[in-house]
Amino acid sequence: MMYVVRVLGELKLFRSPFQCVFSPGRGLHPGGYNCTCKSSYYFPPSSSNSVSNAYSGEMIEVAYIQSRDKMNDAYNVGYQCVPCASGCAECLDDTPCAPDYDVLIRGISLGVECFCMAISIVIGFVIIRLRKTKVRSENDQMISQR
């Protein structure tokens, strides 16, 4: 989602990771707002405001004017929110919230388990089929011949 805001008489397009809120007491003056990262985004560690977790509207507008006048590219580079790792609703850095499973190891262990279960079932059927079978040894045959 992207939205358009009129700042300094110009329409600016803000990217969705930001949530800009007007600061109380400043009114609708230029720079009278603070922008924070929405949930599932975080401030990059190289950010100048990574401690306060908000970008000042005044700083954003100065960077925008400098970017527009080709003085520097701080507006496009310096004001960013980084998406959290997959599976995270909220985060503070790029550490994963959910464990990353190794599919190969899980597949091998699942295959070994299935093989052992199949062998156990086959042995169970063999035992059930042969449970009434009488087993005779050579000694039993020698005794019965006398």
Q: What is the pLDDT of residue 50?
A: 46
Residue, of 114 and 41, whose pLDDT is higher: 114
CA–CA distance, 84 with 41 (Å, rounded to integer)? 5
- Whether residue 70 sits in one domain with residue 124: no
Q: Which amino acid is located at 12 in the chain? A: K
Domain count, the chain: 2
Residue 52 maps to a domain: yes
The residue-averaged pLDDT of 45-58 equals 66
- Whether residue 73 sits in one domain with residue 129: no
- Whether residue 71 sits in one domain with residue 129: no
- Whether residue 72 sits in one domain with residue 128: no
Which one, of 78, 84, 16, lies nearest residue 47 by Cα? 78
Q: Counting beta carbons within 10 angstroms of the beta carbon of residue 122, is it exposed (0 to 12), middle (13 to 18) or buried (19 or more)?
A: exposed
DSSP symbol at 84 = P
Q: Is there a contact between 10 and 23 (Cβ–Cβ < 8 Å)?
A: no
Q: What is the pLDDT of residue 109?
A: 95
- Whether residue 78 sits in one domain with residue 7: yes
Residue 96 maps to a domain: no
- Whether residue 125 sits in one domain with residue 71: no
Share of the chain above pLDDT 90, in %: 18
Q: What is the pLDDT of residue 122?
A: 97
Q: What is the pLDDT of residue 4?
A: 46
Q: Is a pLDDT exceeding 80 seen at residue 102?
A: yes
pLDDT, tens only, 22-35: 777 766 677 778 88
Q: What is the pLDDT of residue 8?
A: 55
User: Containing domain of residue 109, as a range?
Assistant: 103-145
Q: Is there a contact between 74 and 66 (Cβ–Cβ < 8 Å)?
A: yes
Residue 55 maps to a domain: yes
Residue, of 46 and 49, whose pLDDT is higher: 46
Residue, of 51 and 1, whose pLDDT is higher: 51
